[in-house]
Amino acid sequence: MPGLVPATGLAAWRNFLKAHAAAISLIETELERQGLVPLTWYDVLIAVSDSPGRRLRMRELARELVLTRSGATRLVDKLEAARLVKRERAGDDRRGANVVLTRGGSWALRRAWPIYAKGINELFVSVLTADEAAAVADGLGRVARNARARSSSSV
């Protein structure tokens, strides 16, 4: 039944899935315990914050977070209701909406980061050797770029 995937590759894939599920789940729990924004909200805030001009089109946000457009809409609805982001009509193309951080959004981002960073360190970085971290960064970086390239072409 196996044999279609080399053993090391399959082990890498399985551990990749297990590591993701377990680590995300723990970080999520810890953020909630501390009364901070959930990880999905954090993803929105950081994506907007890292964008040129600190504003991001809905379309780009969806692509960035690997969500559907409607998923992005719902998510931003909640963040907007919580006053962490605002939508503003795009100047050049009035179909589009830009998401921008409010003051509260920047604050929530700064406040969550230390806890998130602690999770990343304790559960991920500190468990890896330097070589492994480099290999993960390079290899999975290529995996991500490659998969995204295929997504856009197949859509």
Partner DNA sequence: AAAGATTGAGTTGTCAATCTTC
Partner DNA sequence: GAAGATTGACAACTCAATCTTT
Q: Which lies closer to DNA via its Cβ, residue 74 or residue 142?
A: 74
Query: Does 79 help bind DNA (rule: CB under 7 A)?
Result: no
Instruction: Choose, by CB under 7 A, the member of 71, 102, 106, 122 that binds DNA.
Output: 71
Q: Which stretch binds DNA (CB under 7 A): 62-70, 112-120, 129-137, 138-146?
A: 62-70
State both tokens at 44. 């929105």
- DSSP SS3 for 57: strand
Contact 107, 36 (CB under 8 A): no
Nearest distance in Å: CB 150, DNA: 16
Contact 86, 102 (CB under 8 A): yes
Query: Does 95 help bind DNA (rule: CB under 7 A)?
Result: yes
Instruction: Identify the burial level of 34 via C-beta atoms within 10 angstroms of its C-beta, where 0-12 means exposed, 13-18 middle and 19 or more buried.
Output: exposed
Name the residues that contact DNA, by CB under 7 A: 38, 40, 57-60, 67-78, 87, 90, 93-98
